[in-house]
């Protein structure tokens, strides 16, 4: 899998590269910056040396040619190094790639992510274009698209090990939570909220922790880039929209492992898994290519049964997208897309389903397979006349 190209591009100025563990950040950096000087803070001896005397970092870089890139891997382990990085960028024109799985510890340490002197980029799990002919939708729904899992001959075992690694290295070792048993109880409950409006009170009750604790745990999942929230669309319309955000995990394999689910997805879970895959694909293209300025879901309070999964905004234009896991088109799939039709700026309405021929309803709603939809994102043809 190391030979697969990624949508992330090479940069000319210093940048942060964040992403969940196993997303392939270090592999990509070795491929794209082969001559870089690498500082891997997972090396315990190196970590302890810089922890005791941060000035050793700058002293050792004096032996590195001035024009050579410097990669600092797992930078969140030593936030104080950013002070030296800042100085070396300003005074010596050094270029850094600062790689990590979370910006949480950097923010908690009071660092300002170099005040704009470094770009911020996210590396996501694979999108279908990156895998090419190796992409398989059913396998993606079962095991997910993390590179570390895609490359594994035993994806079930790799996913279980990944979960244990996350708890040990990302949470316990970085001291992000004090109550690790409570966090372990919280994770499968949070996994059940995949694709649903997030309700911290309900999760707190099921996990036997406080609501305040749950809010902190949810933030940890977001800042370690395993999960994200999608806000409800708000506008001065006749119908008032819900404000409770929807909750998504970044990868189907992770959410299934957190729930303790194995085997092929059953019909009851396919809907949330497919919707989550569409959500993550949109999110990845938003970060990689600037697909849209912002995105939401739409659900008017006046009709609890009416919803549109995704509403993309670019300038004053909108595109409404509904994800459906069935393989045979049903008119009921279009209910939300018809209800949202009066929204100002709406220029396209799309139903995305796993397979099937491309079609269009008499009132202009397009129906496309996931492969066609992703190709539309990859080629920049989502927005009309672009």
Question: Quick one: how far is CA 54 from the chain centroid?
Answer: 32
Give the pLDDT of residue 306: 84
Residues of the chain with pLDDT under 50: 1-2, 237-239, 241-242
| pLDDT of amino acid 10 | 84
Residue 101 has a pLDDT of 84
pTM, whole model, 2 decimals? Answer: 0.92
Domains of the chain: 15-122 (3.40.50.300), 128-229+238-270 (no CATH), 276-378 (3.40.1350.10)
Q: In three state form, how does the secondary structure of 101-161 look?
A: CCCHHHHHCCCCHHHHCCEEEECCCCCHHHHHHHCCHHHHHHHCCCHHHHCCCCHHHHHHH
pLDDT at 365: 97
Q: How many Cα neighbours within 13 Å face the side chain of 196?
A: 12
């Amino acid at each position: 899998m190391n030979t697969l190209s990624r949508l992330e591009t090479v940069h000319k100025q210093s940048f942060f590269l964040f992403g969940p563990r196993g997303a392939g950040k270090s592999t990509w950096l070795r491929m794209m910056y082969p001559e870089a000087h690498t500082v891997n803070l997972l090396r315990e001896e190196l970590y302890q040396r810089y922890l005791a005397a941060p000035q050793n970092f700058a002293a050792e870089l004096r032996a590195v040619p001035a024009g050579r890139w410097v990669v600092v891997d797992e930078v969140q382990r030593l936030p104080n190094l950013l002070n030296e990085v800042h100085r070396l960028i300003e005074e010596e024109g050094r270029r850094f790639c600062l790689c990590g799985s979370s910006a949480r510890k950097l923010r908690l340490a009071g660092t300002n992510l170099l005040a704009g002197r470094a770009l911020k980029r996210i590396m996501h799990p694979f999108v279908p274009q990156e895998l090419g002919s190796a992409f398989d939708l059913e396998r993606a729904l079962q095991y997910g698209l993390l590179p570390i899992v895609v490359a594994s001959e035993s994806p079930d075992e790799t996913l279980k090990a990944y979960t244990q690694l996350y708890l040990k290295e990302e949470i316990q070792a970085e001291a992000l939570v004090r109550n690790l048993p409570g966090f372990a109880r919280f994770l499968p409950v949070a996994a059940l909220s995949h694709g649903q409006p997030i309700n911290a009170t309900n999760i707190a009750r099921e996990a036997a922790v406080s609501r305040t604790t749950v809010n902190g745990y949810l933030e940890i999942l977001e800042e370690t880039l395993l999960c994200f929230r999608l806000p409800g669309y708000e506008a001065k319309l006749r119908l008032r929209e819900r404000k409770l955000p929807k909750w998504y995990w970044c990868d189907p394999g992770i959410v299934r492992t957190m729930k303790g689910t194995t085997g092929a997805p059953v019909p009851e879970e396919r809907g949330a898994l497919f919707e989550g895959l569409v959500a993550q694909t949109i999110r990845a293209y938003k970060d990689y290519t600037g697909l849209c300025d912002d995105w939401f879901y739409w659900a008017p309070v006046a009709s609890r049964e009416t919803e549109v999964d995704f509403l993309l905004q670019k300038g004053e234009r909108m595109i409404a997208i509904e994800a459906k896991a069935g393989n045979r088109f049903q008119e009921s799939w279009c209910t939300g897309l018809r209800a949202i039709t009066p929204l100002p700026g709406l220029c396209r309405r799309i139903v995305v389903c796993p397979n099937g021929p491309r079609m269009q309803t008499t009132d202009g709603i397009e129906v496309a397979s996931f492969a066609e939809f992703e190709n539309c994102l990859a080629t920049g043809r989502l927005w009309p006349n672009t």
